[in-house]
Structure 1
């Protein structure tokens, strides 16, 4: 990814993108609770901490740097935004794309057990 675009993405507010995740899945009959469950699974954040990040408009860099990424996240594979997530070399970018991929799978109707790599 081009450095300028990468830096712009890192500074983007997670709270600014979160509603887009919700819109994407709700159009397909999925719920906010399911999106939050995915975020909790990936980041280790509880409901209160997630809400604090949303309220504080935490940027993506801080959101993922402060997270405890699930060890099973490395099982997330596939293409999102034109990139194969398992081949992304920059860990922070890979984590951002992991979340994009999980939300995409939820919107496509995949079972929660499969999304969470259980």
Structure 2
């Protein structure tokens, strides 16, 4: 089975869409960055470096310093897919990030988004 197209999509092409979605709902780019860094273990400098290099999603997640151990607590439906049922490890990470951005945009408190 061929790899999903999103795997080779540059993360830097989707990142502005995450930010725009959050901003439309009154959230900030800094909050989006905080969510991304929480999930992946990147610091702000590392995130900016990956965006500047325009790495694809596969590289972005494979080079992530440390996926957060509470990432498995991310549950629910995003784009019609139940996050906890996604079998492909990379697609699951992408769906987890999508779900976090969705929750942020829906106005959830940051403590709840970050599973604290």
TM-score normalised by the chain length of structure 1 = 0.95
Q: State the SS of the aligned residue for 1:95.
A: helix
- Distance in 2 separating the partners of 1:4 and 1:24: 29
Tell me which of 70, 75, 84 is aligned to 1:86. Answer: 84
2-structure distance, mates of 1:89, 1:58: 23
1:49 matched residue in structure 2: 46
Q: Tell me, yes or no, if structure 1 residue 100 matches structure 2 residue 98.
A: yes
Residues 38-89 of structure 1: per-residue CA shift (max 9 Å, x gap): 0110000001110010000010000011111100000000001111000111
For residue 72 of structure 1, what is the aligned residue in structure 2? 70
How big is each residue's C-alpha offset from its partner over 1:28-47, in whole Å with a ceiling of 9 and x where there is no partner? 00000000000110000001
Q: Choose the corresponding residue for 1:21, options 15, 18, 21.
A: 18
Aligned residues: 115
State how far apart, in whole Å, the 2-side matches of 1:5 and 1:58 are: 16
Structure 1 runs, 4 residues or longer, greater than 4 Å off:
none
* Cα distance in 1, alignment partners of residues 9 and 3 from structure 2: 11
TM-score, normalization: structure 2?
Answer: 0.96
In angstroms, what is the RMSD of aligned CA positions? 0.9
**Structure 2 CA distance for aligned equivalents of residues 65 and 47 of structure 1:** 17
Mind listing any 5+ residue stretches in structure 2 that lack a counterpart?
Answer: none
